[in-house]
Amino acid sequence: MTDLIPELRTPTAPEGTGRVKGGMPVSRVDGRAKVTGSARYAAEEQAPGLRYGVVVSGTIARGRITAIDTDEALTAPGVIEVLTHLNRPKIRSWDLAYKDMTAPGGSPFRPLFSDRIFYSGQPVALVVAETFEAARYAAQLVKVNYEEEKHETDLLATLDQAYKPRPMKAGFTPPSSKGDADKAFEEAPIKIESQFYHGVEHHNPMEMFATTVIRGEDGHLTIYDKTQSSQNNRWYVSRAFGLSKDKVTVRNPFVGGAFGSGLRPQYQLTLAVMAALQLKSSVRVVLTRQQMFSFGHRPETWQKVSLAADKDGKLQAIKHEAIHETSRLEDYVEVVVNWSGQLYACDNIKLGYKLVAHDRHSPIDMRAPGAAHGVHALEVAMDELAYKLKMDPLQFRRLNYASVNPLDDKPYSTKELHQCYDKGAARFGWDKRPLEPRSMVDGEELVGWGMATGIWDSLVMVARVSAVLHADGRLVVSSAASDIGTGTYTVMSMIAAECMGLPLERVTFQLGDSTLPMAPIEGGSSHVTTVGGGVHGACEKLQKTLIKIAKAMPGSPLAKAKPKDIEFIDGAMQLRNRPDVSLRLSEVLAAKGVDRLEEKFFMTPQMAKQRKFTRAVHSAVFCEVRVNEKLGMVRVTRVVSAVAAGRIISGKTAASQVSGAVVWGISQALHEESFTDHRFGRFMNHNYAEYHVAVNADIHDIDVIFAQEDDRIVSKQLGAKGVGEIGIVGVSAAISNAIFHATGKRLRSTPITPDKVL
């Protein structure tokens, strides 16, 4: 079979997997490759004469480098070169050349560009050696002198410096308002006003950021990189270094988690390419876990939510403002407050959003950017107001259910949130919940039940997909998509197999190479609607062509058949319910005299239709906590997450996405925070010993339910809406609300560590 890029080691489903239908719980087609180690990641690629680069990280938050002494490092055994801003190869000076496809407004950070220091941990040199060990040793021998300037990294001390961000990046809209929320809030009988604080969080995927640049004899660079878009990083390398498209290929066939951290090129890519160009050799650069804390993060965020209701519990005013940090270079935007204008029916809404510029690296999108913190604040505030009204928190949300978008009166393309409330509450047993806090005790522990609503946008982007049917009956479908562990290989193979009536093992989906047909970044939970829609479109075109050829074949049994009566089953096309009237697909190709048939599809969202609707996924999260007040310990013993995300294409990987996100939500609620020592403007706990993430002992029952939903506005081809990010939204709020129910203590900031619970 041709048309496969051999170096990609594209996984296919094991023999005997058979036919699949949308929604089926299919195991990952890449599962075997991953557990046997045959799936190679960016830092595992080999090349003859490979050199190893180790990054020297800067130690001040702001200022400039006055001198770098590399003499000692250069004399260490095995060391080949030490790159700094003084001797690096030529790169473009025009800062916009470093603007990748997902960059926010401003000027991107340029690694080793000049003597300027913008943040603590900034790369200041790259030691390149014959072995990793030699480079790591020599990296300690590089001496850097700085001229320090006064830095700022404290959000709460600088809220008065907040400003409105420069124009937003694509996909984000500035917050809007409606009615007179200030007046309505003043006049309402029942109200609450609360402030929220969230520290910085870091992504911490299992796989470290890594780049292996393999230099061909002709100077072509094949770059294995940890990224959520091979094409974004190919574009970036070409622009930053002035290399034409055919001189650079970026590959990411396997990615060990990213969660948004791979949406933009990270500095190890730039440094590895610099070294490969300078030394004319293949080079690998892998960041350490500590260095993984020296680029984007979920920003430190302050919020204020004011809610007011009438005596019956109808919302009268929603006010939500948020301020978070960004770098001095770029206006990173994640808006935070927008969903507060979309979720509940209310005539008076006021939303505000600002940034404060600090001496930090720009934040970067992290699973459900903006909503993870914004919906936390809204949903804890909703719980507070429900208690002021002495009303069940779920009942309060149902009472204020929005059946159109309250901000602009647009209908939702689909919104089965009612189903999430009904099914989630039933599964959880919410009807047995006593309203009063501190009313359930079990041994040493207070038991609390809490819930929250979740919401996230339904995005569709543009993509190109190619589908090639081979004479041996195999189908190869391609697009430069990514699989960051989300299940892209599996779901795309399923869509193609179902559409073409082929057993799953006869279908290969190849992704992860910048030379494949154009695909967007794997972000915003949009890959299924976008690339998946394209896969479906390409397969439908293939069917049309096959039908046309089949009907024209001499003596064709399908000559008189209407196209809609022809179905594709097990490598053949047949008249519906008439297995005796059929043609093998291989016969059709033979009749045409070809050994392959290709169709391409250009997937675009139906913009005109979509504009008339608000498009979002929804969820309801219910959870049980057990709190030991003597120790301040919280255990999350049960979570039910009910999600309405359109048609679910791959039942198993979708449920895995949501349960994985719930694990992270628990981690966010109870553990995760990157602390800054403001004297140095530096993250202190940049390792797994001190940056706590949830471990197995923290995780108990997680139950995922999907609502019945089919959204042909968002996804004409599939009815899907995307499940990647919604799973985390609302989880930390539900936990916070459950802790209130258990203890009577209202905790508005995350992580909810024992000192806050005591």
Q: Which secondary-structure segment (H or E) carries 507?
A: strand 507-510
Give the range of 138-146, 286-294, 361-369, 440-448 binding ligand MOS by CB under 6 A.
361-369
Output the six-digit token pair for 542: 């293939």
Task: Please name the residues in contact with 661: beta carbons below 8 A apart, sequence gap of 6 or more.
Answer: 367, 724, 725, 726, 727, 728, 731
Min. distance of Cβ 299 from ligand MOS in angstroms?
13
Q: Which is nearer to ligand MOS, 225 or 365 (CB)?
A: 365
Query: Which of 207, 330, 599, 725 is labelled catalytic?
Result: 725
Q: Which is nearer to ligand MOS, 313 or 523 (CB)?
A: 523
100 binds ligand MOS (CB under 6 A): no
Q: Which is nearer to ligand MOS, 453 or 486 (CB)?
A: 486
Name which position in 367, 626, 638, 682 contacts ligand MOS (CB under 6 A): 367
Output the six-digit token pair for 627: 């709190």
Q: Which pairs count as long-range contacts for 746-750, CB under 8 Å and 24+ apart, including other chains?
A: 746/194, 746/380, 746/384, 748/194, 748/195, 748/196, 748/197, 748/377, 748/380, 749/196, 749/197, 749/198, 750/198, 750/199, 750/376, 750/668, 750/669, 750/670, 750/672, 750/673
> Are 211 and 248 contacting, i.e. CB atoms less than 8 angstroms apart?
no
725 is catalytic: yes
Min. distance of Cβ 364 from ligand MOS in angstroms?
8
What is 450-487 written as a DSSP string? EEEEEEEE-----EEEEEEEETTS-EEEE-S---SSS-
Give the range of 255-263, 279-287, 434-442, 655-663 binding ligand MOS by CB under 6 A.
255-263
Task: Tell me the CA distances in angstroms from 570 to 19, 26, 492, one per residue in order.
Answer: 8, 18, 18
Angle at 457 (CA atoms; ends 456, 459), nearest 5 degrees: 140
Q: Which is nearer to ligand MOS, 104 or 681 (CB)?
A: 104
Min. distance of Cβ 262 from ligand MOS in angstroms?
7
Min. distance of Cβ 567 from ligand MOS in angstroms?
37
Query: Rounded to whole angstroms, how far apart are CA atoms 28 and 657?
Result: 12
CA dihedral 115, 294, 681, 64 (to 10 degrees): 0
> Are 466 and 479 contacting, i.e. CB atoms less than 8 angstroms apart?
yes
Output the six-digit token pair for 75: 């004399």
Query: Rounded to whole angstroms, how far apart are CA atoms 152 and 154?
Result: 6
Give the range of 258-266, 449-457, 531-539, 608-616 binding ligand MOS by CB under 6 A.
258-266
Please tell me the count of residues contacting ligand MOS according to CB under 6 A.
10
Phi, psi for 326 (deg, rounded to 5): -140, 180
Give the range of 217-225, 242-250, 256-264, 560-568 binding ligand MOS by CB under 6 A.
256-264
Give the range of 359-367, 397-405, 530-538, 659-667 binding ligand MOS by CB under 6 A.
359-367
- Identify which of 362, 124, 401, 373 has the alpha carbon closest to the alpha carbon of residue 264: 362
SS (H, E, C) 524-577: CCCHHHHHHHHHHHHHHHHHHHHHHHHHHCCCCCCCCCCHHHEEEECCEEEECC
Q: Which is nearer to ligand MOS, 226 or 367 (CB)?
A: 367
Give the range of 279-287, 363-371, 413-421, 617-625 binding ligand MOS by CB under 6 A.
363-371
Query: Rounded to whole angstroms, how far apart are CA atoms 29 and 27?
Result: 6
Q: Which is nearer to ligand MOS, 12 or 266 (CB)?
A: 266
Min. distance of Cβ 367 from ligand MOS in angstroms?
5
- Identify which of 481, 451, 487, 439 has the alpha carbon closest to the alpha carbon of residue 463: 481
Q: Which amino acid is at 551?
A: K
Q: Which is nearer to ligand MOS, 155 or 372 (CB)?
A: 372
Min. distance of Cβ 228 from ligand MOS in angstroms?
6
Give the range of 86-94, 362-370, 443-451, 617-625 binding ligand MOS by CB under 6 A.
362-370
> Are 416 and 422 contacting, i.e. CB atoms less than 8 angstroms apart?
no
Give the range of 167-175, 364-372, 710-718, 731-739 binding ligand MOS by CB under 6 A.
364-372
Query: Rounded to whole angstroms, how far apart are CA atoms 409 and 561?
Result: 47
> Are 91 and 110 contacting, i.e. CB atoms less than 8 angstroms apart?
yes
Min. distance of Cβ 563 from ligand MOS in angstroms?
39
Output the six-digit token pair for 727: 């799973």
**Stretch 517-556 residues interacting with ligand MOS (CB under 6 A):** 523-524
Min. distance of Cβ 527 from ligand MOS in angstroms?
10
Query: Rounded to whole angstroms, how far apart are CA atoms 663 and 643?
Result: 15
369 binds ligand MOS (CB under 6 A): yes
Output the six-digit token pair for 675: 């602390």
Output the six-digit token pair for 352: 């505000």
370 binds ligand MOS (CB under 6 A): no
Query: Rounded to whole angstroms, how far apart are CA atoms 575 and 42?
Result: 48
Task: Tell me the CA distances in angstroms from 494 to 429, 448, 587, 709, one per residue in order.
Answer: 35, 41, 24, 19
Name which position in 152, 300, 330, 365 contacts ligand MOS (CB under 6 A): 365
- In the bound state, the residue with its beta carbon closest to ligand MOS is 260
**Stretch 110-139 residues interacting with ligand MOS (CB under 6 A):** none
CA dihedral 459, 251, 295, 369 (to 10 degrees): 10
What would the x/- binding string for ligand MOS be over residues 193 to 232, using CB under 6 A?
-----------------------------------x----
What would the x/- binding string for ligand MOS be over residues 551 to 580, using CB under 6 A?
------------------------------
Q: Which is nearer to ligand MOS, 259 or 302 (CB)?
A: 259
In the DSSP assignment, the letter for residue 209 is P
Q: Which is nearer to ligand MOS, 227 or 510 (CB)?
A: 227
Q: Which is nearer to ligand MOS, 365 or 416 (CB)?
A: 365
Min. distance of Cβ 644 from ligand MOS in angstroms?
20
Min. distance of Cβ 657 from ligand MOS in angstroms?
12
Query: Rounded to whole angstroms, how far apart are CA atoms 479 and 438?
Result: 54
Q: Which is nearer to ligand MOS, 520 or 681 (CB)?
A: 520
**Stretch 660-689 residues interacting with ligand MOS (CB under 6 A):** none
**Stretch 260-279 residues interacting with ligand MOS (CB under 6 A):** 260, 263
Output the six-digit token pair for 357: 């510029």
Q: Which is nearer to ligand MOS, 263 or 752 (CB)?
A: 263
Q: Which is nearer to ligand MOS, 504 or 661 (CB)?
A: 661
Give the range of 257-265, 279-287, 416-424, 582-590 binding ligand MOS by CB under 6 A.
257-265
Length of the chain: 758
Name which position in 366, 378, 636, 655 contacts ligand MOS (CB under 6 A): 366
Beta bridge partners of 642: 620, 705
Min. distance of Cβ 446 from ligand MOS in angstroms?
35
E strand segments, 566-715 = 566-569, 572-575, 578-584, 596-603, 616-628, 633-644, 676-677, 682-683, 701-706
Min. distance of Cβ 375 from ligand MOS in angstroms?
15
Min. distance of Cβ 526 from ligand MOS in angstroms?
8
- Which residues form the catalytic set? 725
| Residues at the interface with ligand MOS (CB under 6 A) | 228, 259-260, 263, 365-367, 369, 523-524
